[in-house]
């Protein structure tokens, strides 16, 4: 039966837990482990390891009891005086029968033994290696027993599970958007390209996959565009009335649109994407300022009336022409070709050549 660690002198509850955590569960295991491996454990040093190992060996030598062995009997020394001289003669003690030394170190040997030389400094790598390897069972030098080393364990095969193919995901949304529409510019652009009437639903179906639209504003003179008001109201656009001033060359809707966009840029930080529906080059400065404030700018316009400077200064520019169905484009091109063919050819008055 194994001797509990609690009977070893100097082993308290915390030390016992540390030893059991390292696989040392009895006094026999403590006596068998090498001092170097014991000293490499946390909160242990060479002196503590040596003391605990010797205490375990003494405990096992006394039969598993803490009581120390009785000291050997001392033979009394008798002194006698001779009659002729004052010299003292000492009777030599009888020689005791020499017995085989016990496998444990005696108290006399412990007292007279020279202090062990300090172990050389060990690196952290070697200490961690000693902690990770199983404890070696070594016997004391007095017993002459052989040192047994554990057999090397076979490495377990690592099985890598098969990875399932990743399904295609939808593109991530850019965030919260604000849409500003220069209605005068986009309507004139569709008319110049001879496209059908401007359809705001095609624009919204393109923008919604990119994020949530928090603000929708459209600027124009609604006395001239009454036919579009119902569709714009249904699309949740805020119609801002900007009357046309005949004497002014500058469109007042452009100025109002720039002011509202910058106001949202500085007061609503959650709006990170601005959509400008126009091809007017006057909005180039607005696009640059929004990008300086770390905003994403998306432009939408008709290819025929869009200034290339505005398109180049946007993070992304979508041509309204690409949103139309191919049938509408073919009808427009067919109409343009018929108009070219129907134009009267100029008359040429050729005089006959007389020969």
What is the per-residue pLDDT across 250-297, written as a single tens digit (0 to 9) for each? 678 899 999 999 999 999 999 999 999 999 999 999 999 999 999 999
* Mean pLDDT on 14-19: 80
Closest Cα partner for 191 from 41, 320, 40, 34? 320
* Residue 63 pLDDT: 56
Helices (H), 91-228: 107-112, 124-132, 183-192, 200-207
* Residue 124 pLDDT: 53
pLDDT, averaged across the chain: 73
Bridge partner list, 316 = 298
Task: Report pLDDT digits (tens) over 91-103.
Answer: 444 554 555 555 4
More confident residue, 216 or 354: 216
Q: Which of 159-168, 283-292, 305-314, 321-330 has the lowest mean pLDDT?
A: 159-168
How far is it, in rounded angstroms, from Cα 58 to Cα 37?
A: 20
CB within 8 A of 280, min separation 6: which ones?
182, 185, 254, 307, 310
Q: Which CATH superfamily is domain 175-338 in?
A: 5'-nuclease (3.40.50.1010)
Task: Label residue 15 by pLDDT band (50, 70, 90).
Answer: confident
* Mean pLDDT on 182-207: 93
Task: Label residue 84 by pLDDT band (50, 70, 90).
Answer: very low
* Residue 327 pLDDT: 59
Question: Which pTM was predicted?
Answer: 0.47
Structure tokens at 93: 């003690």
Q: Domain map of the chain by residue range? A: 1-66, 175-338
CATH no. of 1-66: 1.10.150.20
């Amino acid at each position: 039966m194994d001797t509990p660690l609690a009977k070893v002198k100097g082993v308290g509850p915390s030390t016992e837990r540390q030893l059991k955590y390292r696989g040392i569960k009895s006094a026999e295991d403590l006596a068998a482990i090498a001092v170097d491996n014991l000293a490499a454990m946390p909160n242990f040093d060479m002196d503590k390891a040596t003391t605990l190992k010797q205490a375990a060996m003494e405990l096992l030598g006394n039969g598993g009891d803490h009581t120390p062995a009785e000291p050997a009997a001392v033979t009394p020394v008798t002194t006698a005086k001779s009659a002729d001289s004052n010299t003292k003669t000492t009777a030599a003690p009888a020689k005791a029968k020499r017995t085989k030394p016990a496998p444990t170190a005696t108290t006399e040997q412990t007292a007279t033994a020279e202090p062990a030389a300090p172990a050389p400094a060990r690196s952290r790598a070697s200490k961690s290696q000693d902690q990770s390897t199983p404890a070696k069972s070594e016997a004391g030098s007095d017993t002459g027993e052989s040192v047994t080393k554990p057999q090397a364990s076979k490495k377990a095969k690592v099985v890598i599970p098969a990875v399932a193919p990743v399904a295609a995901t939808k593109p991530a949304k850019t965030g919260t958007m604000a849409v500003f529409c220069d209605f005068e510019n986009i309507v004139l652009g569709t008319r110049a390209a001879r496209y059908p009437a401007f359809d705001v639903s095609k624009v919204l179906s393109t923008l919604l996959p990119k994020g949530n639209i928090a603000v929708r504003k459209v600027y124009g003179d609604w006395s001239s565009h009454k036919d579009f008001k119902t569709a714009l109201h249904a699309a949740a656009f805020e119609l801002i009335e900007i009357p046309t001033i005949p004497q002014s060359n500058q469109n007042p809707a452009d100025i109002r649109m720039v002011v509202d966009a910058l106001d949202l840029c500085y007061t609503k930080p959650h709006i990170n994407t601005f959509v400008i529906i126009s091809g007017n080059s006057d909005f180039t400065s607005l696009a640059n300022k929004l990008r300086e404030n770390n905003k994403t700018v998306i432009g939408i316009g008709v290819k025929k009336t869009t200034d290339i400077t505005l398109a180049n200064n946007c993070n992304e520019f979508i041509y309204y022409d690409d949103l139309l169905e191919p049938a509408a484009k073919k009808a427009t091109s067919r109409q343009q070709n018929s108009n070219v063919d129907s134009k009267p050819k100029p008359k040429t008055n050729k005089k006959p050549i007389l020969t």
